[in-house]
Amino acid sequence: MDEGEALPQRQNARRRLRARNEAEDQPPSREAVCAPTSSGRAAVGHGRIKDGASAAAAAPDGALQAGPTISHTGPEATGEGSKSPTRAPRSREREEEEEDQQRPGSAPGDDGGGGGGGDGALPAYRSAAVGAFKFEYLDHTADVQLHAWGRDLKEAFENCGLAMFNYMSPLELVRPRETRSYRAEGHDLPSLLYGFLDELLFVFATELFLAASLTITTFDRVNWVIEAEGVGEAFDREVHEVGTEIKAITYSAMAISEERPDDAEVFVIVDI
């Protein structure tokens, strides 16, 4: 009995039977066969698995792909599926910056400077003294801070005056040729220091006199009076180096200290 006589009333079943027979007689397509996996088996289609040897025999030439990656026509292959985000590699500069921020005692943008040998340490106290003088200059926004010290306040005041002169013209070139007398008054220590420096600056502005040395002869802390003498010479462009002009003395952040025995210091910000 042929197939038409056996199943005349079931045409749908006959079509399904014919399609299954044709599918078994045809080899799998290029897209249906994938590379063998590590277990020696190859994936066929989206869910069927055949033995690696039989799949290689059934597939046409070039159907198998080298490597362990399985190729298929699912959404992952077309880019429609979800992808895990990739992280861009960090640059070497970025890694060094993060290491600097994690180092103890360091701050963002710290380049390890400040006279500490490149390890970010602060400079030693009074280490920036100018030559053999007992004063130094500290950075300040748009201005400069004079820091002077001595065995007592009298010497600290003298060195602060020399720091001001040296900032306007290096004292190493000033010769001791003339003498000037100074007198200043105040009502407390800060005003006395301010008045003393202001008097020195006034004489320089009117006579261009640079004092290479200062000696306070009277330091009255009862009546708040200072009398002093300066030895030096008038400024000469052909002899002296031009520094930075100091316009005025200020009270901003002024500090006077004599807490330690045989040691005193003053801090004064000047307008430049």
Q: Are residues 149 and 46 in the same domain?
A: no
In this model, does residue 79 exceed pLDDT 60?
Answer: no
CA–CA distance, 23 with 229 (Å, rounded to integer)? 118
Give me the residues paired with residue 185 across strands. 225
The predicted-structure confidence for 3-40, as pLDDT tens digits, reads as follows: 444 444 455 666 677 777 776 666 655 544 444 544 44
Residue 124 DSSP class: P
Q: Are residues 147 and 228 in the same domain?
A: yes
The 10 Å Cβ neighbour count of residue 249 is 22
Q: Are residues 145 and 57 in the same domain?
A: no
Contacts of 214-220 with C-beta under 8 Å, sequence gap 24+, read 214/158, 214/161, 214/162, 215/158, 216/154, 216/157, 216/158, 219/153, 219/154, 219/157
Q: How far is CA 231 from the centre of its chain?
A: 47
Out of 46, 72, 98, a domain closes at 72
Q: Are residues 264 and 140 in the same domain?
A: yes
The predicted-structure confidence for 111-129, as pLDDT tens digits, reads as follows: 433 333 444 454 577 888 8
Q: What is the CA radius of gyration of the chain?
A: 46
What's the predicted TM-score (pTM) here? 0.56
Q: Are residues 145 and 258 in the same domain?
A: yes
Q: Are residues 267 and 140 in the same domain?
A: yes
Confidence at residue 237, expressed as pLDDT on a 0 to 100 scale? 92
Q: Are residues 46 and 160 in the same domain?
A: no
Alpha helices in the chain (DSSP H): 3-6, 11-25, 52-58, 75-78, 92-102, 153-168, 189-207
Q: 149 is written with which tokens? A: 């010290």
Question: In this structure, what is the dihedral angle of CA atoms 221, 227, 232, 235, given to the nearest 10 degrees?
Answer: 90
Out of 22, 47, 72, a domain closes at 72
Mean pLDDT, residues 48-76: 44
The answer to whether position 47 is within a domain reads yes
* Domain count for the chain: 2
Cα angle 75, 78, 80 (rounded to 5 degrees) comes to: 55
Q: Are residues 140 and 20 in the same domain?
A: no
State whether the Cα torsion 69-75-81-86 is positive or negative: positive
Enclosing domain of residue 196? 135-271
CA–CA distance, 192 with 219 (Å, rounded to integer)? 10
Mean pLDDT, residues 226-244: 95
Q: Are residues 178 and 252 in the same domain?
A: yes
Residue corresponding to tokens 């292959």 = 77
143 neighbors 271 (Cβ within 8 angstroms): yes
